[in-house]
Structure 1
Amino acid sequence: MRPAHRFATASFAALSLALAAGAALAAPSPAPIIPVPAELTPGRGALAVRSGAVISVPAGDAAALFAARLLAGQVKQTRGLDLVAQEGGAGIIVLIRDPSVSAAEGYVLTVTPKGARIAAKDDAGLLYGAMTLAQLLSPDAAFGRPVKVPALTVRDQPRFAWRGIMVDVARHFQPAESLKPLIDAMAAHKMNVLHLHLSDDQGWRVEIKRYPKLTEIGAWRTPPTAGEAPSAQPYGGFYTQDQIRDLVAYARERSVTIVPEIDLPGHAQAAVAAYPEIGVFGDRPPVSVDWGVNPYLFDVDQPSLTFIEGVLDELMDLFPSTYIHVGGDEAIKDQWQSSPAVQARMRELGLKNEHEMQSWFIEHLGQYLASHGRRLIGWDEILEGGLPTSASVMSWRGEQGAIDAANAGHDVVLSPAPTLYLDSLQSNRADEPPGRLSIVTLKDVYAYEPMPKGIASDKAGHVLGAQANAWTEYLVTPSQVRHAIFPRLDAVSEITWSPKDRRDWSGFLNRLDIQRLRYARQGINAADGAFAINFALDGGRGAALRSGQATLALSTQTGFGQIRYTLDGKTPTGRSALYGKPLKVPVGTTVRAAAFAADGRPTAEPQSFDLGRNALLTRSNTELTACPKGALGLRVPLTSEAQADAPAFNVNLFDTCAMYPAAPLDLAGGFEVKVARVPRHYGLAADTDKVRWHYNATRFGELVVRAGGCEGTVVATFPLPDPATADNRLKFQGALPSGTGDSDLCLLFTAPLSGPFYAVEALALTPRSSN
């Protein structure tokens, strides 16, 4: 059988009608469905749908009526048509129960010139069939116009049962209302698990009535400033139990299960800050402001276990999900190793080491959950020390954890970093929000295969599915979180729902082009980095300046669309010059470009590349590179809780050093460097000794500028001001000695490790005088 997506493209193209001028109906091409259905068979003719069309459902079927209303709402939002959902009667669109549709969550959608019929045996199937039809009813850029849906039959069902996304609401709190648009998008894409990371060192986000201090104290932290002094305003928030119940009900109506996570035995600092007696040593730390790995653990004595069981009782009351996530990741065992009481407990239990202690701890909680009809799932560290018999594994440190657990008979969810970590940047563009600098493109996510090769064929049934994760150490606002998730969520939906042999990158991009129009109409700020223009200057800046001519290559990450450009400063349109090969243009030109879809729409905001002399002599933060002995690993905001429009900087946590590569020193007589001071608040645990210390000759350190790399000649040294009194954005200017050709400029900060660290915001070379 031919792959359904190719069949769909061909059939829809064949069925596209050449409508007469002024005709009211627009014909779609190709089938704009994400995720691509398991099977699509074309029919003859097309169904015309206009405002006022009726969607009918059986009388008394509340779930079918909800799916019909959701269909009407989606079409109103994305196409501008007013459909009417009603119980009983004859509608042009009908939703019915059909026990012959045997697959759970499956559906059959039949479209003929006389009407559309969605059949399923369960609520989820009706909903997913309705969401497929909603996409067929918004197939192009037209809005407010009737639409013709080519006749077809879709028989569809999911490949995997777990099709999820995790949102970390512990590091940066995301209001409940901000999660509802994500749930709507999940339903539209047939995704069914929203995993909420509700606790961590930096915050406790769910109300537990028997332990009120978890939110009175544990939900709030006092972030540092760039001078390391505490902020005047605490940061935090939490969900009341009523808010959780409302969110769970909202998700359930859309066939989305919310899986709660309370992280333990590690990542426990916020909980221990609220109730020190559940910690190992009984001391009360502050709620952490340090990202990364912190040392606080839950104790393993009975009072601590009783406390956790009380928390689980209330979680189970709030969340009806089968699975309860207990974390288990990054629990460094220093406190257990140093505690005589914990060591005595280990001897009493006959445990050889702290890994076995964690395994016992997790097994105890797994049995407790099982006694209440629930199942435990945790990150793959719960494999260390022996996997408890009751546990399922979410594998994030690659795939090996999932392979080992599945082959041992345990259910698993694939969630490997970095591929399915959506806090990784989507491109290296300067307008990317904060996040991890390991670039994970849309194509990287789409190419991921959730069934690892190392799992035995008779154990494949233990693979529940896959999940993407949006961690929020650096994603502060709901807008930033949505930017990170969309449109990579589309790729996640297709790799978890669609049959493997139905997936096709080119076809996906065509369908995603239409989906991005829907996002715009829904107010979802989906990232456009995969479709925006990237510029590559051939031969370097120095060569261009010396010759007076530049060769500039234009591309997009996905290759989707036709690139068009202008050289006169005007915004490019679908009729601008078509890019075919690298442009050879004089220095001083500004090239503006965008890629365009087949109908003449730009696929992203137009981008510019300034080839003026001053611009070529300047490098922004994102155009700098790491020093030879380090690596830029994070993109961080100016302040810990900076909002979406605040600047962000690429940094190396382990060495505050950056490089201006191939600086044309023969053309430069001086420089101006803009510097940003940012908080140093990272829990590095065992990696602390990897941080490089540089001797500071003055109290607060210096900025040292070297030509010829980091071992080259010192050309300038600037003492850094007192962080407590100086602004956190600084400027330094200096002269450069005469040089020849291109040479790396190294910018090294020697600030003490006990204080903040510094990033280069931009380095501009000033032209050498011709006199």
Structure 2
Amino acid sequence: MYKRIILLLVTTVGFAAVTQAQDLNPNLGIIPAPVSVRKTSGSFVLSQETAFLADSVNNKAVVFFADYLKNTAMLHIPVKHNSGQTVNNSIVLTSAGTDGLPAEGYRLTITPTNVTIAAKGAGMFYGIQTLIQLIPANKGATAKLPCVQIEDYPRFGYRGLMLDVCRHFFTAEFVKKYIDLMAAYKFNTFHWHLTDDQGWRIEIKKYPKLTQIGSHRPATLIGNYHDRTPQQFDDTPVDGYYTQDEIRDIIKYAADRYITIVPEIEMPGHAMAALASYPELGCEPGSGYQVQSTWGVFKNVYCPSEKTFAFLEDVLTEVIDLFPSKYIHIGGDEAPKDAWKESEFCQKLIKKLKLKDEHGLQSYFIQRIEKFVNSKGRSIIGWDEILEGGLAPNATVMSWRGEQGGIEAARQNHNVIMTPGSGGMYLDALQGKLSTEPLSIGGYTPLDKTYRYDPTPEALTPDQKKYILGVQGNLWTEYIATENKVEYMLLPRMFAVSEVAWTQLANKDFKDFSEVRLPNHLAWLDKKGFDYRVPTAIGAKDSVGFGSTLTVNLKTSVTGAKVYYTIDGYTPRETDIEYNLPKTYSVPTDQYRELQTIVITPTGKRSVVTKTVIYNKAPLPPVQFSGTTPGLRYELIPGEYNSTNDFKMSADGADSLIAKSFNINQFRKGGGFAIIYNGYVRIDNDGVYGFATSSDDGSTLLIDNQLVVDNDGRHPINAKSGAIALQKGYHKFTLKYFNIGTTGSLRAFITIPGKPTGELGSDLLFN
């Protein structure tokens, strides 16, 4: 008897069902999860007769909540001064009772007669956000709030989200909408990426050409960077910048929600928009600099001349006058040294300053800018490349190329903000399979990867971990041209980032987050008209299994949404059967059953379709093999291909080379190529084995000549998986891969029954 595959499907409709489920929910549906939640009996009835008392009626958190009650909850309750006397049927916002609370903390107490938030400063605002989440979204004239005692405070002091407005421009009103979402989920820092190669988006009065020229590009690349050879462009101009008055208004809007805005002015790289505006700032002023219409890293950077430093100091002076934030982000990433190596001026400067090389020149550049920023009473943040050549004395490092830069900076006693793409903090990456997602930069960052990230690496000592100030999610917009797509890429992963930043590590629970709390928050997004990625039905996933029955028992991922299914091989839609009750299907011997599911929300948004295939067939028997040489034989095939079907092994046995890994970097020197790995994989026990590849471009994996993983076609880095039932012994293994363009990668994985997925290495591969 083979493993029985069990799926879960139960739909929940209406808020009442959610409220009942919350009785078993330790966090009462709150995102991010609080430090401590202690439920008590009874409920508080919020109504028009409820009194609203505050220590200070002009406090901005109090003003925010009064506005919420009036305009969202439709309760016109005037704010009155809190005299300290007990008033029944009241909401009280007070600084009394805050002894021992950490910074930004609050105590929320709900009894049958009163609601009290005890907090100071930002903590009051965060207590209000928690209270708002407990008020039913579909309340009538009254609303029942559960009685509870909550004590809460953040894990990290820096809780950030970044928005890139350079690659594509977004209106001031949309930026405010972005800030509103951040405030609702207890973020306190908005990193505003304002200058880059593809656009300068901030008005600088002393240098008007920055917006007259630098804020405009004539066209944008069509498709992904990899899609077309040669690249094609859309002939559609992209314009836009923020006036200083608009920026002041947004800064105040954010401050009223306890959010600090950190502006980023890129240097010394990502400077093409500035160089197009003022060519004399480059090392080759006559080279025809242009605002870029494509993506990537460009070799032209600021020349470290006195003219450049004067320009940057003028720009930063206006930026600092606008933004009250402690930090000014100066970029520092992806700054090629080609122009400096070829510049006579730069080479003379390196000798004059007795620097080791161009990396030392970048360090000189950053340190000089830091001294100026420090002279204005501010501090710099830079991407982890500012470590190159020596770190500026007071700089904070934002670690994006994995965690190593942050680890190195913390070991040097520098403050660190963790934001690694490898940790799920790059929200422009794919949320699902490449074929089901909109155009993106590539990579794979599903919700659970973002949620499970811990910003404090084990490589650091407890004292070194104190330098980790916090964490940030980044949303780069090369492939995000519309506001709807910003929301789709941001949501729901933003909720996961909020819990990484706020919630104590011991209180994090992905199952509770994704299955109990998230559905209600997604229903709120749906009702409010946000675009977001609808998760697939809880318990449903693309998979291949083996067994004699298929039991279907799922749960909707969005409160109020419906789940539809098919078993006929056709894509499910609302015309198909709505699944409400568990159902079991038999799988005849040597046949299969295919279940496809989709979630459709009340506003018509759809999840991607999941496909579960169950085979009732015996595991593949082993093949005859007695070799003991670790690794696989491979053949390298030059040329450019579109599919793994376009090439095959040569007839003369050219696969005489042996590889012990799938590292293809050594082959990426002579243009496009393909490679075929052949050999045997050792299976130690009967069972269902999972295999996967992650590749840029296409790859396919076959076991005993049966296709298990189909990751074919030209594409940026993408992962796909499959499964197959195997008997103990050796099985023929074939992996085919091709690469075009300047990037490329290949990794292979195996999931052994009862063990976590791991890289497939030479310990299991033989020839």
TM-score normalised by L of structure 2: 0.71
Match of 1:726 in 2: none
CA contact (8 A) 1:214 1:270 kept: yes
Match of 1:518 in 2: 524
Q: Judging changes above 3 Å, is the alpha-carbon distance between structure 1 residues 475 and 691 closer, same or farther for their aligned structure 2 residues? A: farther
Q: Judging changes above 3 Å, is the alpha-carbon distance between structure 1 residues 199 and 596 closer, same or farther for their aligned structure 2 residues? A: closer
Instruction: Note the alpha carbon deviations across 1:230-249, whole angstroms, 9 max, x for none.
Output: 65442121111111111111
Picking from 238, 254, 259, the partner of 1:256 is: 259
Match of 2:112 in 1: 113
Q: Judging changes above 3 Å, is the alpha-carbon distance between structure 1 residues 18 and 195 closer, same or farther for their aligned structure 2 residues? A: closer
Match of 2:534 in 1: 528
Is 1:210 the equivalent of 2:206? yes
Match of 1:125 in 2: 123
1:59-70 aligned at under 5 Å gives the runs 59-69=56-66
- Give how far 1:254 is off: 0.6
Q: Judging changes above 3 Å, is the alpha-carbon distance between structure 1 residues 567 and 460 closer, same or farther for their aligned structure 2 residues? A: closer
- In the alignment, the residues of structure 1 paired with residue 409 and residue 739 of structure 2 have an alpha-carbon distance, to the nearest angstrom, of 46
SS of equivalent to 1:397: coil
% identical aligned pairs: 35
Instruction: Note the alpha carbon deviations across 1:214-259, whole angstroms, 9 max, x for none.
Output: 1111111122567867654421211111111111111111111111
- In the alignment, the residues of structure 1 paired with residue 359 and residue 198 of structure 2 have an alpha-carbon distance, to the nearest angstrom, of 24
- Give how far 1:603 is off: 10
CA contact (8 A) 2:166 2:196 kept: yes
Is 1:449 the equivalent of 2:454? yes
Picking from 418, 442, 447, the partner of 1:437 is: 442
- In the alignment, the residues of structure 1 paired with residue 181 and residue 333 of structure 2 have an alpha-carbon distance, to the nearest angstrom, of 29
Q: Which moved more, 1:398-407 or 1:551-560?
A: 551-560
Unaligned runs of 5+ in 1: 1-15, 20-24, 540-549, 612-627, 631-653, 664-685, 695-706, 710-743, 755-771
CA contact (8 A) 1:660 1:746 kept: no
- Give how far 1:98 is off: 3.1
Q: Which moved more, 1:319-328 or 1:530-539?
A: 530-539
For residue 276 of structure 2, what is the amino acid of its counterpart?
Answer: A
For residue 202 of structure 2, what is the amino acid of its counterpart?
Answer: V
- Give how far 1:350 is off: 1.1
- Give how far 1:176 is off: 1.7
Q: Judging changes above 3 Å, is the alpha-carbon distance between structure 1 residues 656 and 85 closer, same or farther for their aligned structure 2 residues? A: farther
- Give how far 1:18 is off: 11
SS of equivalent to 2:578: coil
Instruction: Note the alpha carbon deviations across 1:138-195, whole angstroms, 9 max, x for none.
Output: 37xx554743222111111111011011111111112221122221111111111111
Q: Judging changes above 3 Å, is the alpha-carbon distance between structure 1 residues 132 and 603 closer, same or farther for their aligned structure 2 residues? A: farther
For residue 474 of structure 2, what is the amino acid of its counterpart?
Answer: N
CA contact (8 A) 2:537 2:597 kept: no
- In the alignment, the residues of structure 1 paired with residue 343 and residue 65 of structure 2 have an alpha-carbon distance, to the nearest angstrom, of 59
Match of 1:39 in 2: 36
Match of 1:460 in 2: 465
Is 1:88 the equivalent of 2:93? no
Instruction: Note the alpha carbon deviations across 1:486-543, whole angstroms, 9 max, x for none.
Output: 111111111111111111111112111111111112222121245485444679xxxx
- In the alignment, the residues of structure 2 paired with residue 657 and residue 592 of structure 1 have an alpha-carbon distance, to the nearest angstrom, of 29
- In the alignment, the residues of structure 1 paired with residue 534 and residue 211 of structure 2 have an alpha-carbon distance, to the nearest angstrom, of 37
- Give how far 1:563 is off: 7.3
CA contact (8 A) 2:203 2:211 kept: yes
Picking from 401, 406, 410, the partner of 1:397 is: 401
Instruction: Note the alpha carbon deviations across 1:439-458, whole angstroms, 9 max, x for none.
Output: 11111011100111122212
Match of 1:672 in 2: none
CA contact (8 A) 2:43 2:145 kept: yes
Q: Judging changes above 3 Å, is the alpha-carbon distance between structure 1 residues 629 and 450 closer, same or farther for their aligned structure 2 residues? A: farther
Q: Judging changes above 3 Å, is the alpha-carbon distance between structure 1 residues 661 and 452 closer, same or farther for their aligned structure 2 residues? A: farther
Match of 1:199 in 2: 195
Match of 1:277 in 2: 280
Match of 2:69 in 1: 72
- Give how far 1:688 is off: 9.7
For residue 265 of structure 2, what is the amino acid of its counterpart?
Answer: I
SS of equivalent to 1:181: helix
Q: Judging changes above 3 Å, is the alpha-carbon distance between structure 1 residues 583 and 108 closer, same or farther for their aligned structure 2 residues? A: farther
Picking from 176, 182, 188, the partner of 2:184 is: 188
CA contact (8 A) 1:57 1:64 kept: no
CA contact (8 A) 2:282 2:300 kept: yes
Match of 1:565 in 2: 565
Instruction: Note the alpha carbon deviations across 1:463-495, whole angstroms, 9 max, x for none.
Output: 110001111111111111111111111111111
Is 1:410 the equivalent of 2:414? yes
CA contact (8 A) 2:541 2:612 kept: no
Instruction: Note the alpha carbon deviations across 1:58-115, whole angstroms, 9 max, x for none.
Output: 3542314323135426853xxxx53635233766222123373442211111100002
Match of 2:147 in 1: 151
- In the alignment, the residues of structure 2 paired with residue 83 and residue 485 of structure 1 have an alpha-carbon distance, to the nearest angstrom, of 33
- Give how far 1:657 is off: 1.7
- In the alignment, the residues of structure 1 paired with residue 289 and residue 552 of structure 2 have an alpha-carbon distance, to the nearest angstrom, of 52
Instruction: Note the alpha carbon deviations across 1:319-354, whole angstroms, 9 max, x for none.
Output: 111100011001010000000101111111111101
- Give how far 1:287 is off: 0.7
Picking from 365, 371, 378, the partner of 1:367 is: 371
- Give how far 1:433 is off: 1.5
CA contact (8 A) 1:407 1:459 kept: yes
For residue 69 of structure 2, what is the amino acid of its counterpart?
Answer: A
CA contact (8 A) 1:44 1:151 kept: yes
CA contact (8 A) 1:594 1:607 kept: yes
Is 1:56 the equivalent of 2:59? no
SS of equivalent to 1:331: coil
SS of equivalent to 2:45: strand
CA contact (8 A) 1:162 1:193 kept: yes
For residue 149 of structure 2, what is the amino acid of its counterpart?
Answer: T
CA contact (8 A) 2:447 2:496 kept: yes
Count of residue correspondences: 611
For residue 176 of structure 1, what is the amino acid of its counterpart?
Answer: A
Picking from 165, 170, 173, the partner of 1:174 is: 170
SS of equivalent to 2:643: strand
CA contact (8 A) 1:535 1:554 kept: no
CA contact (8 A) 1:324 1:375 kept: yes
CA contact (8 A) 1:27 1:147 kept: no
For residue 383 of structure 2, what is the amino acid of its counterpart?
Answer: W
For residue 216 of structure 1, what is the amino acid of its counterpart?
Answer: Q
- In the alignment, the residues of structure 2 paired with residue 749 and residue 387 of structure 1 have an alpha-carbon distance, to the nearest angstrom, of 37
CA contact (8 A) 1:48 1:149 kept: yes
For residue 125 of structure 2, what is the amino acid of its counterpart?
Answer: L
Q: Which moved more, 1:530-539 or 1:300-309?
A: 530-539
- In the alignment, the residues of structure 2 paired with residue 130 and residue 687 of structure 1 have an alpha-carbon distance, to the nearest angstrom, of 57
SS of equivalent to 1:82: coil
- In the alignment, the residues of structure 1 paired with residue 67 and residue 315 of structure 2 have an alpha-carbon distance, to the nearest angstrom, of 35
SS of equivalent to 2:390: coil
Q: Judging changes above 3 Å, is the alpha-carbon distance between structure 1 residues 294 and 345 closer, same or farther for their aligned structure 2 residues? A: same
- In the alignment, the residues of structure 2 paired with residue 581 and residue 448 of structure 1 have an alpha-carbon distance, to the nearest angstrom, of 40
Picking from 510, 527, 549, the partner of 1:505 is: 510
For residue 495 of structure 2, what is the amino acid of its counterpart?
Answer: D
Instruction: Note the alpha carbon deviations across 1:648-674, whole angstroms, 9 max, x for none.
Output: xxxxxx9562346999xxxxxxxxxxx
CA contact (8 A) 2:563 2:578 kept: no
- In the alignment, the residues of structure 2 paired with residue 128 and residue 708 of structure 1 have an alpha-carbon distance, to the nearest angstrom, of 50
- In the alignment, the residues of structure 2 paired with residue 469 and residue 583 of structure 1 have an alpha-carbon distance, to the nearest angstrom, of 49
Q: Judging changes above 3 Å, is the alpha-carbon distance between structure 1 residues 248 and 366 closer, same or farther for their aligned structure 2 residues? A: same
1:315-394 aligned at under 5 Å gives the runs 315-394=319-398
SS of equivalent to 1:243: helix
Match of 1:657 in 2: 642
Q: Which moved more, 1:455-464 or 1:103-112?
A: 455-464
SS of equivalent to 1:250: helix
CA contact (8 A) 1:67 1:126 kept: no
CA contact (8 A) 2:428 2:489 kept: yes
Match of 1:735 in 2: none
